[in-house]
Structure 1
Amino acid sequence: MTGPAAVVVGVDGSDPAADAARWAAAHAARHHLAVRLVRAYRLPPSAAAGRDRLRELARRQLWAAARAAHAVHPGLVVEQLDEEGDPFDVLLAESGRAQTLAVGARGVGGVPALLAGSVGEALTREARCPVAVVRGHIGTDEELRGNGGTRPVVVGIDGSPASEAAVAFAFAEADACAAPLVAVHAWPDRAEESGIPFHYFTERAAEEREVLAERLAGWAEKYPGVRVSPELVRGGAARVLLDRSRAARSVVVGSLGRAAVARALLGSTGRTLMRHASCPVVVTRP
């Protein structure tokens, strides 16, 4: 990989990938970065003779994605890279110097790709930067160019180092686009779901709200212009965040990496959001 940090976009010729390029253009412009469009493709062993044809197709797809990005911000620096290789390996290498890695939620023809399958789950565990799954409502080109508005950035908080990284990303994003920030800490809505007596939730609610406020305090001082709404909510995290996604500009959550507990998290909250959220989902790592 060459050049300074950029917002990297995985391109595959699909409409969701074009939306990822549009989202990335707006995100990059707000953070004064370039966009780097990457089209990786594998050649079957018997297809060596078709290399030129595949490369030409990749370059046409990159050109279309660049056009989508420039429609949002005409003056944006947009780099294009077509590379022969495994998409996961190529994008993982690109993540090493990327500020954010963005992909569409579905591939060509509606077939789940990248983030919807095993490659995407691996990227959210192993990418060296936040991974944005661009889906749902992202707005028109004009809306993407503008800042402010009523749609908040929503961040899920569970007190882990992974959620601390999510909080950092969410505050920076809310500050850059002059949006409000909703910080959600969700509790299981029935005692039997967690094995904890029901009265525990009532007794600890005030304490947990104070802890949530303390976790946000340092970031609120760093970003005094961000309007923060802490929410302590009874309910499963996936359901609560899905509900908040309907009115959000993005939802930010943390991933713990390769551990079994992280795979369980992605199998519930993270995977549900990546497949069903009504807005882009950003997954961060510590």
Structure 2
Amino acid sequence: MAREDLLVGVDGSALSTEAVRWAAAEAARHGWRLRLVRAYQLPDGTSTEDRNLMRTHVRRQLWTATHAAHAVAPDVPVQQEDVERDPFSVLETESASARALVLGARGVGGFGALLLGSVSDTLTRRAACPVVVVRGPEASDEALRREDRIRPVVVGIDGSPASEAAVAYAFAEADAWHAPLVAVHAWSDYLEDPSGVEIPMLETEEREVLAERLAGWAEKYPDVRVSREVVLGSAAKALVARSVNARAVVVGSFDRGRVRRAVLGSTGRALLHHARSPVAVVRATT
């Protein structure tokens, strides 16, 4: 399978449906296909009758999700798959050939334990593609939908390879949606002892560093209007605050070599719990 598919984990919950709607609009904008996967695991000894009933229920959920997708983007091709296997392993495997994996912030039903903490601790560490976690009612607010053209993509930048990958993803998103980009760099978190530090001078230096990190991307995407924000304070608080009217907030995750245990970090975890917009976690490898 070519990486032209946007993978969505479906579980029948309301937030899963929100994730499908968000992904359908995303697929339409980029010209991608939508792949809806409903994975579930039944206890050992489940009878054939109960297994068939579950399969019928799962397929009904997939058709409902497909209807929700086509209500948003009627022309987007949608592929449905139901898999009787552990949802985490299924989505991890399928992420290797996907543009991104999209999930609702909390899951129920067949996913069972696929709650927010499990997403941040498992799939954002192990998926082979960016993971987008779609939040609650804020993600479907009609007033915000009408303002799509002015809602920015927000990206957190700290200069690491992980944030470089996040910047690449954020610029591509902003360009596809004709949206502005807000680049947030919170630098005071790195000061072990702020006493005696000349804050204005350091802030000027950090602004120059941020401009340098964005220069190449701004040239690659000349139509994207970029705002730069250097924040004296917590990156998590700054990004959560800016998520209120954002199309999405993008952060990096770091993959430490062969063990494939990406470090999401406190900023990413705070966003997954508190952001008002979808959160995209983009992994960088070393």
Partner in structure 1 of residue 193 of structure 2: 195
| Segments of 4+ moved more than 6 angstroms | none
Query: What is the alpha-carbon distance in structure 2 between the residues aligned to residue 83 and residue 90 of structure 1?
Result: 8
Contact between 2:158 and 2:187, CA under 8 Å: does it hold in 1?
A: no
Query: What is the alpha-carbon distance in structure 1 between the residues aligned to residue 112 and residue 237 of structure 2?
Result: 22
Partner in structure 1 of residue 56 of structure 2: 56
1:33-72 per-residue CA deviation (whole Å, 9 max, x = no partner) reads 0100000001111214322111111111111111111110
Q: Which amino acid aligns with 1:153?
A: V
Partner in structure 2 of residue 255 of structure 1: 253
Q: Give the percent of matched residue pairs that are identical in Structure 1 and Structure 2.
A: 57
Aligned residues: 279
Cα shift at 1:21: 0.3
Cα shift at 1:263: 7.1
Q: Which amino acid aligns with 2:92?
A: L
Contact between 1:115 and 1:133, CA under 8 Å: does it hold in 2?
A: no
Partner in structure 2 of residue 107 of structure 1: 107
1:58-98 per-residue CA deviation (whole Å, 9 max, x = no partner) reads 11111111111111011110110000111111001110110
Query: What is the alpha-carbon distance in structure 2 between the residues aligned to residue 190 and residue 224 of structure 1?
Result: 31
Q: Which secondary structure state, in structure 2, belongs to the residue aligned with residue 62 of structure 1?
A: helix
Query: What is the alpha-carbon distance in structure 2 between the residues aligned to residue 127 and residue 155 of structure 1?
Result: 20
Q: CA RMSD in A?
A: 2.5
Partner in structure 2 of residue 31 of structure 1: 30
Contact between 2:10 and 2:36, CA under 8 Å: does it hold in 1?
A: yes
Query: What is the alpha-carbon distance in structure 2 between the residues aligned to residue 76 and residue 198 of structure 1?
Result: 57
Q: Which secondary structure state, in structure 2, belongs to the residue aligned with residue 232 of structure 1?
A: strand
Partner in structure 2 of residue 216 of structure 1: 214
- 2:139 is aligned with 1:138: yes
In the TM superposition, 1:1-150 aligns within 5 A as: 2=1, 5-49=4-48, 50-108=50-108, 113-114=113-114, 116-136=116-136, 137-139=138-140, 148-150=148-150
TM-score (norm 1): 0.89
Query: What is the alpha-carbon distance in structure 1 between the residues aligned to residue 143 and residue 75 of structure 2?
Result: 14
Query: What is the alpha-carbon distance in structure 2 between the residues aligned to residue 61 and residue 245 of structure 1?
Result: 30
Q: Which amino acid aligns with 2:165?
A: A
Contact between 2:144 and 2:245, CA under 8 Å: does it hold in 1?
A: no
Query: What is the alpha-carbon distance in structure 1 between the residues aligned to residue 272 and residue 144 of structure 2?
Result: 23
- Alpha-carbon distance change, 178 to 154 in structure 1, aligned in 2, over 3 angstroms: same
Cα shift at 1:99: 0.4
- Alpha-carbon distance change, 143 to 248 in structure 1, aligned in 2, over 3 angstroms: closer
Partner in structure 2 of residue 169 of structure 1: 169
Query: What is the alpha-carbon distance in structure 2 between the residues aligned to residue 209 and residue 14 of structure 1?
Result: 43
Q: Greater CA deviation, 9-18 or 121-130? A: 121-130
TM-score (norm 2): 0.89
Cα shift at 1:125: 1.3
- Alpha-carbon distance change, 107 to 148 in structure 1, aligned in 2, over 3 angstroms: closer
Q: Greater CA deviation, 112-121 or 19-28? A: 112-121
Query: What is the alpha-carbon distance in structure 2 between the residues aligned to residue 122 and residue 34 of structure 1?
Result: 25
Cα shift at 1:143: 7.0
Contact between 1:115 and 1:121, CA under 8 Å: does it hold in 2?
A: no
Q: Which secondary structure state, in structure 1, belongs to the residue aligned with residue 106 of structure 2?
A: coil
Cα shift at 1:247: 1.4
- Alpha-carbon distance change, 12 to 226 in structure 1, aligned in 2, over 3 angstroms: same
Query: What is the alpha-carbon distance in structure 1 between the residues aligned to residue 271 and residue 112 of structure 2?
Result: 14
